[in-house]
Structure 1
């Protein structure tokens, strides 16, 4: 039977180990602090008691003065009257014992460093540990060395009991901390397990499922909500891509069918040059439409490359806008549309001339596609505070207000009116937005008061090199 291995990379195991480690460190620190504090408290209590008894002794002797020869008698009388008093020894300044309480065979040695301030130390006597107090005091006006000693065996017994308790308690707490760590980590990560199980049920074909959101107000709730927002955007993108793929497939299939049927029909019998020309014009129109569609697809794929090289240089927007309008003037006349150019300012910016030309052409082409015969398209270059703006206005079919937020999404077509007959692929405005963002600019669309729409590209002052009214 194989023993299950513990996966140290598991977040649950790591949380448990951290919990155990911090618990044991905390308990060890608490135990050490408690031990040191208890040791200090016992020593401080003992020292305070000895100081009080010493003060009582000095006070007793000073209140009942007696000759020097009777000092030993007075000390003996005090010790009998205070049976709970510590061991006492008094020496003169030459070290001769006046009151040798322990006898000559086991005297308490007075250190060479003596002072009028009390000094404490631990000394072994008769297989016991004693805390001693030594101090120079004046009795009947003469200095004496006073030594008091008190057994501290009980203190060490208490400390040993505390040590034993900790030695028994720590292993039990170690086991308890492991169990508690696993329980806490399991409960903490249980929402993650539920989210993981739910995420496994989500596939590309079924993106309508959402992760369960724990209403805990913590990071897991924010994580689940963020993932659900991501899934929602992904679902919308997949739906647009699916619709776009269907539309593109239909457009390509229709174009190929038209070219194939036109060619077959033209080759069935001899025809006049006029009929052949009409057939070739039909095929050419379909080829141009297909080429435009493929160009849009290529541009869309290029926009996905974040580090695409942009040929930066000085670009005069007034000249560029005039060139684009001039190239499309003939097309506007064929559709009986009025294309007007208004330049209120001259502005030079740093940018890629080819990309900016494509941006302007997309906006103008979009306006001409969705403006009926007799309509008007106006291109304007104007200052806008510390910015410079290009506007393209049309009197076309307009954009429903509910679709304005989606119009720059890739593969998006606003409605059925924007169909293949008008050449819309759902990529042009997405490409225009990418070009604008690549030039640190903003593009927006607003509905006109009566009919049509206005597209505005605004370049900030960091992009503008010069602006002349």
Structure 2
């Protein structure tokens, strides 16, 4: 039963078109029929009324108040033969006795009705033939002296019946024809949809390069095709990033493991001194720490990959978060003999997730310290600009080449690694910063001059304190 009523998209379009068209055509046909019926009806009534007035003129009264009929004039009006639309006339006296009638009635009579039917059009029959008649009383000195009956055949109404039959027969035929035409044009109209179906069926995880051809007309199907192509672009880019991320992560994880394995193999080849053992073990411990740090960052990236993590909304004292993170890196600051200058003109508060903001600030500070030369200055500035708080952290380090600025937020990307091999890192810190900024709807930008300075700029929405 379900399959019987399950139309294809093309048939549904045609069916909906026919449904609306059938109502419109029905209204038009009913209007035509009503107008024709009304016109014919009015035409017959007017002819009968005209005949009635003519024959009333043929009636006079004498000195005895008896009405006389001008027979010669009356019979001269061609009532002797049946015409296309014959008129039947009868005269009655005041006792409703027939006095005279038109010759075309021959042996038949038009029925004289009760007085309440006077001057009213009434449909009756004459020998089984439908007629319309009107009767009127002949008045003399306010008394009825007789009756005049005029009738006319309703043959004109045969046109109305024929029209009715034509409309009833043509109505379903027109609907069937319109359905076939609508189905044909609907098929041509949804041809791009068939193209979309055929093209999308060819797209698999191994074939993401195929795109849907855009229709010539820039209509809804054009927009649909374009949006699907854009979606495919995003899916392809996401899968490519996932493949690249998996490849890079696999490489980065294997490297410290291979180094540790090689170090262990060297140690067991022959006896070593206590100092050599301690040196190699400490080296392996540093590689394990590096591996743990990388795994933590990978887990953090995976945690926010789908951006569905529940985010807290709390008032954060931004000054304290920055100072707390500087305290955590105090050993590194002392080791590289860096001078950290903080410029907080006032207390700054933002509305966000404290834990995630701390991760962002921590990674930016770590990055600034890591790529600063010894005895250099790191500057952290907080300012209020309109409805935003601007966080700037600058260092006078190796800088970033203009060609690398667009790539620094990619996972595992490290700028100028070959020339800075002494700078340890995973290439995940800025990727995490970018991901969290997108998640929290912060804006981040970079300004850098190679071998001179680098400045990271963060824009926070200002918190509304109660």
Decide: shared fold, TM above 0.5. Answer: yes
Instruction: Return 399-408 or 351-360, whichever deviates more.
Output: 399-408
Q: Is 1:315 paired with 2:316?
A: yes
Give TM-score scaled by structure 1 length.
0.79
Q: Please give the residue correspondences for 1:366-405 in structure 2 after superposition, counting only pairs within 5 Å.
A: 366-373=367-374, 375-396=376-397, 398=399
CA distance in 2, matches of 1:332, 1:185: 73
CA distance in 2, matches of 1:302, 1:213: 38
Q: 1:247 to 1:375 in 2, by over 3 A?
A: farther
Measured against aligned partners, the alpha-carbon deviations of 1:336-389 in whole angstroms (never above 9, x if no partner) come to 544332212212334332222112112222333444555543222221212323
Q: 1:352 to 1:90 in 2, by over 3 A?
A: farther
CA distance in 1, matches of 2:137, 2:374: 121
**How far 1:222 moved relative to its partner?**
1.1
CA distance in 1, matches of 2:428, 2:254: 19
Equivalent residues of 1:71, 1:98 under 8 A apart: no
Which position in structure 1 is the counterpart of 2:177?
Answer: 176
Aligned residues: 452
Equivalent residues of 1:445, 1:456 under 8 A apart: yes
* Ranges in structure 1 where 5+ consecutive residues have no aligned partner: none
Q: 1:247 to 1:72 in 2, by over 3 A?
A: farther
Q: Is 1:73 paired with 2:74?
A: no
Equivalent residues of 1:335, 1:373 under 8 A apart: yes
Q: Please give the residue correspondences for 1:455-466 in structure 2 after superposition, counting only pairs within 5 Å.
A: 455-461=456-462, 463-465=463-465
Q: 1:247 to 1:305 in 2, by over 3 A?
A: closer
**How far 1:432 moved relative to its partner?**
2.9
CA distance in 2, matches of 1:292, 1:425: 8
Measured against aligned partners, the alpha-carbon deviations of 1:411-456 in whole angstroms (never above 9, x if no partner) come to 37375649997556554444334434554x4222042578544333
Q: 1:166 to 1:435 in 2, by over 3 A?
A: same
Equivalent residues of 1:86, 1:150 under 8 A apart: yes
CA distance in 1, matches of 2:139, 2:306: 97
* Ranges in structure 2 where 5+ consecutive residues have no aligned partner: 80-84
Which position in structure 2 is the counterpart of 1:154?
Answer: 156
Q: Please give the residue correspondences for 1:293-372 in structure 2 after superposition, counting only pairs within 5 Å.
A: 293-304=294-305, 306-372=307-373
Give TM-score scaled by structure 2 length.
0.79
Which position in structure 2 is the counterpart of 1:447?
Answer: 447
Equivalent residues of 1:66, 1:140 under 8 A apart: no
Q: 1:80 to 1:310 in 2, by over 3 A?
A: same
**How far 1:302 moved relative to its partner?**
1.9
Q: 1:52 to 1:312 in 2, by over 3 A?
A: same
Q: Is 1:291 paired with 2:292?
A: yes
**How far 1:323 moved relative to its partner?**
0.9
CA distance in 1, matches of 2:238, 2:27: 56
Which position in structure 2 is the counterpart of 1:8?
Answer: 6
**How far 1:51 moved relative to its partner?**
4.5
CA distance in 2, matches of 1:454, 1:96: 123
CA distance in 1, matches of 2:428, 2:88: 103
Which position in structure 2 is the counterpart of 1:107?
Answer: 111
Instruction: Return 84-93 or 246-255, whichever deviates more.
Output: 84-93
**How far 1:398 moved relative to its partner?**
4.9
Which position in structure 2 is the counterpart of 1:47?
Answer: 45
Instruction: Return 258-267 or 176-185, whichever deviates more.
Output: 176-185
Measured against aligned partners, the alpha-carbon deviations of 1:156-213 in whole angstroms (never above 9, x if no partner) come to x223323433454345445434433442232122222222222233332332222111
CA distance in 2, matches of 1:218, 1:196: 18
Instruction: Return 412-421 or 174-183, whichever deviates more.
Output: 412-421
Instruction: Return 306-315 or 100-109, whichever deviates more.
Output: 100-109
Equivalent residues of 1:134, 1:148 under 8 A apart: yes
Instruction: Return 452-461 or 414-423, whichever deviates more.
Output: 414-423
Equivalent residues of 2:401, 2:449 under 8 A apart: no
CA distance in 2, matches of 1:449, 1:99: 125
Equivalent residues of 1:72, 1:98 under 8 A apart: no
Q: 1:158 to 1:272 in 2, by over 3 A?
A: same
Partner-residue secondary structure (3-state), 1:215 = coil
Instruction: Return 238-247 or 134-143, whichever deviates more.
Output: 134-143
Which position in structure 2 is the counterpart of 1:218?
Answer: 219
Partner-residue secondary structure (3-state), 1:389 = strand
CA distance in 1, matches of 2:205, 2:19: 43
Equivalent residues of 2:397, 2:454 under 8 A apart: yes
Measured against aligned partners, the alpha-carbon deviations of 1:82-128 in whole angstroms (never above 9, x if no partner) come to 757844467799978787667995324256276xxx74443333322
Find the structure with the greater CA-based Rg.
2
Which position in structure 2 is the counterpart of 1:242?
Answer: 243
Q: 1:81 to 1:386 in 2, by over 3 A?
A: same
Partner-residue secondary structure (3-state), 2:342 = strand
CA distance in 1, matches of 2:86, 2:442: 94
Measured against aligned partners, the alpha-carbon deviations of 1:50-87 in whole angstroms (never above 9, x if no partner) come to 455556667x57xx976585755148735743757844
CA RMSD of aligned residues (A): 4.0
